Amino acid sequence: MTLIKSISGIRGTIGGETGDNLTPIDVVKYAAAFGTFLKEKNDGQSVVVGRDARISGPIVHELVVNTLMALGLNVVDAGLSTTPTIEMAVVEAQAAGGIILTASHNPKQWNALKLLNAKGEFISAEDGARVLEIAETDAVNYASVDHLGQRTYQEFLSQHIEKILALPLVNVPLIKEQKFKIAVDAVNSSGGFAVPALLRALGVEDILEINCEPTGNFAHNPEPLAEHLGQIASAVKSKKYDLGVVVDPDVDRLAFITDDGEMFGEEYTLVAVADYILKHTPGATVSNLSSTRALKELTHKAGQAYEASAVGEVNVVEKMKEIGAVIGGEGNGGIIYPELHYGRDALVGIALFLTHLAETQLSSSALRSTYPNYKMSKNKAELQPGTDVDAILEKITQKYSKQPVNTVDGVKIEFDEDWVHLRKSNTEPIIRIYAESASLTTAENLTRKILQDIGDLLD
């Protein structure tokens, strides 16, 4: 069982002992710290709260809402919703901030408090550190009985969808003309109602709903990877559907299944959407250092600038704002389209992808074949507690100093068209190692070589 306290929020497993897991005491402690932080900033007196469909959601939700009201803050309760919807709701409600109760792609025993600022974006490292400081010092002052907060209820998904439909690059009539047949796997969470609602609004009539009851009893591992998606892949192929759409429990990650039952590739969700955006809106693109090089190639081919950020949505957003990127995101299927908002949003990704598919008049498998087919290997080096990880990364940097090396986030080393990226974990004694090549064998050999280098340094 685990409790992970980071600058972006609090994540843990339900049950067990206080301080070691996400217990009711821990939920109240960190909700109170965030509420106190918002009152310090005096950005306003209301907070938007929403959750995904996981089993622990209703309990955690009530604990958070009542804690915030006990601080004297008003709560706009969005109930069962999606992460991108809550991000947009914070701005719509002119709130001081927001809390999304979701552990994203983690299994059902996990839950989390994800913290948003008044812009509906994840809080900064500086602000996150302040929230943790308040929690650890117990510097919380609750409101008197005459100054308790109030709760109002509001649904924001319909507004979210309306804003997507109003985007200039979302062509609803063109999508409707195609009479797409689309299967959806929402792993029994919020996407189960959000994705079909969006598709119907886009004019899609033939929708096969798989695992779309928002019960929180995840039908499979909720991370949208090929090994977890056999059910929808088989259904798309056997029933001759044009596309399979897969989202994680809070609907900020997006993956596709092509008409032949194969994975479009989570890394290529962003590539395809960026291809469409760049054809209509020239500008820079951003992804993180662990994402496929295909986006960089696509962007340069379009005569535009590409930059890589440190891993993490807040870092991608910061870089996008810095260079004025027209599209960005992460290789885990996270689409960030600033024309709508600065947050990973599977719903806007679906709308843009379907417009792109309709415009090309290609099948989803044929569209996938127009992009590179790089292979990625993901591994990790497990270390003894107390190991000086920074020293290891510094020695790796020195060893490969003749190669192009990026040390913005860990160490990324480029070898012609191949690369390997090493990052230390903030929560456990490991180094994550990602490598990419046109050949899976080459990518795996690269990770093995780095693992050997690390082993040699530890001997």
Q: Quick one: which of 176, 189, 143 has its CA closest to 50?
A: 189
Q: Strand 46-51's sheet: what is its strand order?
A: 3-6, 9-13, 110-116, 97-101, 46-51, 74-80, 151-153
Q: Quick one: which of 348, 336, 361 has its CA closest to 166?
A: 348
Strand partners, 431: 381, 424
| Whole-number Å distance between alpha carbons of 275 and 355 | 12
Q: Quick one: which of 122, 101, 4, 120 has its CA closest to 53?
A: 101
Query: Is 144 annotated in the active site?
Result: no
Exposed / middle / buried, residue 455 (Cβ in 10 Å: 0-12, 13-18, 19+): exposed
End-to-end CA distance of the chain: 31
Provide the residue type at 57 as one letter: G
Provide the residue type at 283 as one letter: G
Q: Which of 56, 104, 291, 437 is catalytic?
A: 104
CA count, 13 A, side-chain hemisphere, 64? 32
Residue with tokens 């070691």, as numbered in its chain = 20
Rg of the Cα atoms in the chain? 22
Q: Which residues are catalytic?
A: 104
